[in-house]
């Protein structure tokens, strides 16, 4: 079974802090994704990566950056956290072929105070 592990289930940070969310997958997947999920808005793609050191902006990249130094790890960075970034963050990974489904972690519920 594919396992996608997010480092924290719950996280509380303060406005202006730099925040790191970590995600690790164990299936040697090429593609990795970061989403945020908000009530009534569904899932929105922040960034994705299709290879080590490669990244592409999703639909809502503003205020975020990402890092993929190793194939199994994809980090989401909030450079200067703001209260409107309080949300559920979901990481996913998928194989190279376009017919491969995405596999999700359990999510990190982030609160910015």
Partner 1 sequence: AQSVTQLDSQVPVFEEAPVELRCNYSSSVSVYLFWYVQYPNQGLQLLLKYLSGSTLVKGINGFEAEFNKSQTSFHLRKPSVHISDTAEYFCAPKGSGAGSYQLTFGKGTKLSVIP
* Residue from 25, 31, 75, 93 binding partner 1 (CB under 8 A): 31
Q: Strands 10-13 and 108-112: what pairing?
A: parallel
User: Does 26 participate in binding partner 1 (rule CB under 8 A)?
Assistant: no
Identify which range of 14-22, 63-71, 78-86, 99-107 contacts partner 1 by CB under 8 A: 99-107
Q: Which of residues 54-73 bind partner 1 (CB under 8 A)?
A: 56, 58
Out of 7, 71, 103, 111, name the contact with partner 1 by CB under 8 A: 103
Per-residue H/E/C for 47-100 = EEECCCCCCEECCCCCCEEEEEEECCEEEEEECCCCHHHCEEEEEEEECCCCCC
């Amino acid at each position: 079974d594919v396992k996608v592990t997010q480092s924290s289930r719950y996280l509380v940070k303060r406005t202006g802090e730099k925040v790191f969310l970590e995600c690790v997958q164990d299936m040697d997947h090429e593609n990795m994704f970061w989403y945020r999920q908000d009530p009534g808005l569904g899932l929105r793609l922040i960034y994705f990566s299709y290879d080590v050191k490669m990244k592409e902006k999703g639909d809502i990249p503003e205020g975020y950056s990402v890092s993929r130094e190793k194939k199994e790890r994809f980090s989401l960075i909030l450079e200067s956290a703001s209260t409107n970034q309080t949300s559920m963050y979901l990481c996913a990974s998928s194989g190279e072929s376009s017919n491969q489904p995405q596999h999700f972690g359990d999510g990190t519920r982030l609160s910015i105070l």
